[in-house]
Amino acid sequence: MITVDNMSDASESVDPAELEEFRGRVRDFLDANCAGWGEDSTRRDDDGASRARSFQSALSAAGFAGITYQREFGGAGLSNAHQEAYDEVSAPWHLPNLPLAISHGMCLPMLNQFGTDAQRADFMPDCISGQSIWCQMFSEPGAGSDVAGLSTRAVRDGEQWVLNGQKVWTSGAHYSDFGIVVARTRPDVPKHQGLSMFIVDMADPAVEVRPLRQISGESGFNEVFFTDLHIPADKLLGDLNQGWSLAVAMLMFERVSIGAGRGGLGGERVSQNLITLARELGRDADPRIRQALADLWIRERIKGFIGRRIRDAVAAGRVPGPEGSIAKLNGALLARAIRDVSMELVGPAGQAWGPDGGAGERWATFCLSAAGISIAGGTDEVQRNIIGERVLGLPREPNPFRDTAWEDVPRN
């Protein structure tokens, strides 16, 4: 079992008066810095990224960034109770920091957990304060669900590693300063045993980022090509050839972030937003709509409880196991339910909206991105496999190549 170390050792039993004072300071900060942010301020484009950097810098200056991380690495050195208080107070706000979701939800915990002291000192403070944005480079054209089968090669050359290969679906690579990449360091052993993780400087000319355009018109993710990228040996993250266990930990952080955090799904406020919309449209007396909204509200509460269970596990020093998959699957199903109810509410405006966009455009954009939530971070089917095998104890999927060296496994 992987444990979570290196977090602030601040006691969990926090004086309630101190916590209340903290809540008040968070409220004041949000009033002063977030009034006027709307739903479109959370976009993952270049403007969104620069808004996120400025906001995060102010958050950091006020002492509310990296709440539970140690002060010496740029955190606030506070307790989990402070984090919960911050989450609770900030939940109704449209914070413009969604472009930092991967930096903070996945890369930061990885640096904290697996980085050397030098790596933590070099990279964590800027990551926490939003001065640097990070991306995650796992998926490849031939390796998505089966990410352990990836082909990007890293070959040792003196004090450096030389990387060649291609990644795809890399969210935010076009505005990221650094990335965490998984590459194959040993092709002559079974696929899970020959992987390593590296920190990549995205500004290196040997890294080429090509944005991909999505159905919504946005370009949230990219293809990334490495051509003889030289990585200093001290940018290896974790141990050599132990990349798979690090990748599993990072995927769990991702699943928790998508399924239990805000992670692009909206917070607890989505059902409330739709209840307000139903009232505005005069649909709130329709029994079908009322039932659908009540169902959404209940699902959001369940999501909140799953999130609390996971946060408690992390506070107890555990990286979440299959509960990360439960959170991720539940989050994806909730997103689909939100999509269906919102489309029912806005009706034809969800397909042809007026020049001012309005609710039709806002919910149509969500509708187009909802399916992606069932794919990102491991598909619904993959989560069901994990839950089946690791929670329900069903037989493992057959794999005739489990003990075969990666280079000997037939592939297209």
Q: How far is the CB of 389 from ligand FAD (least distance, A)?
A: 11
Q: Which is nearer to ligand FAD, 103 or 171 (CB)?
A: 171
What long-range pairs does 115-124 form, CB within 8 A, spacing at least 24?
115/237, 116/234, 118/234, 119/199, 119/234, 119/235, 119/237, 120/6, 120/73, 121/72, 121/73, 123/178, 123/199, 124/66, 124/69, 124/73, 124/74, 124/75
Phi-psi category of 232—alpha, beta or left, where left has phi over 0 and alpha has psi -120 to 50? beta
Name the residue number minimizing CB distance to ligand FAD: 144
DSSP 192: G
The contact pattern for ligand FAD, residues 83-122, with x = CB under 6 A and - = no contact, is -------------------x--------------------
Residue 385 near ligand FAD by CB under 6 A: yes
Q: How far is the CB of 187 from ligand FAD (least distance, A)?
A: 20
Which segment (3-11, 134-142, 278-286, 325-333) binds ligand FAD by CB under 6 A? Answer: 134-142
Q: Which is nearer to ligand FAD, 74 or 179 (CB)?
A: 179
**Distance (Å, rounded) from C-alpha 403 to C-alpha 216?**
42
Residue 139 near ligand FAD by CB under 6 A: yes
Applying CB under 6 A, among 110, 296, 376, 386 the residue interacting with ligand FAD is 376
Q: Which is nearer to ligand FAD, 43 or 283 (CB)?
A: 43
Q: How far is the CB of 167 from ligand FAD (least distance, A)?
A: 6
Q: Which is nearer to ligand FAD, 202 or 277 (CB)?
A: 202
How far from the centroid of its chain's Cα atoms is residue 281's Cα?
A: 34
**Distance (Å, rounded) from C-alpha 261 to C-alpha 377?**
13
The single residue of 140, 254, 300, 361 carrying the catalytic annotation is 254
Helix (H) or strand (E) holding 184: strand 178-184
Applying CB under 6 A, among 169, 175, 198, 366 the residue interacting with ligand FAD is 169
For residue 164, what are its two tokens? 């060649």
Paired sense of beta strands 195-201 and 236-237, if any: antiparallel
Q: Which is nearer to ligand FAD, 147 or 296 (CB)?
A: 147
Nearest to 81 by CA among 22, 30, 127, 159: 22
Amino acid occupying residue 297? W
DSSP 106: I
Residue 378 near ligand FAD by CB under 6 A: yes
Residues 192-231 interacting with ligand FAD (rule: CB under 6 A) = 221
DSSP 7: B
Residue 293 near ligand FAD by CB under 6 A: no
Q: How far is the CB of 81 from ligand FAD (least distance, A)?
A: 31
Applying CB under 6 A, among 63, 77, 179, 372 the residue interacting with ligand FAD is 372
Residue 160 near ligand FAD by CB under 6 A: no
Nearest to 86 by CA among 22, 144, 153, 35: 22
Residue 170 near ligand FAD by CB under 6 A: yes
Residue 137 near ligand FAD by CB under 6 A: yes
Applying CB under 6 A, among 69, 86, 114, 138 the residue interacting with ligand FAD is 138
Residue 132 near ligand FAD by CB under 6 A: no
Applying CB under 6 A, among 116, 145, 351, 399 the residue interacting with ligand FAD is 145
Are the C-beta atoms of 145 and 382 separated by less than 8 Å? yes
The count of chain residues that interact with ligand FAD, using the rule CB under 6 A, is 22
**Distance (Å, rounded) from C-alpha 292 to C-alpha 310?**
27
Active site residue 18: no
Are the C-beta atoms of 327 and 306 separated by less than 8 Å? yes
In this structure, the dihedral spanned by the alpha carbons of residues 391, 392, 393 and 397, taken in order and rounded to 10 degrees, is -90
Residue 136 near ligand FAD by CB under 6 A: yes
* Residues assigned a catalytic role: 254
For ligand FAD, the binding residues (CB under 6 A) are 102, 135-139, 144-145, 169-171, 221, 372, 375-379, 381-382, 385, 397
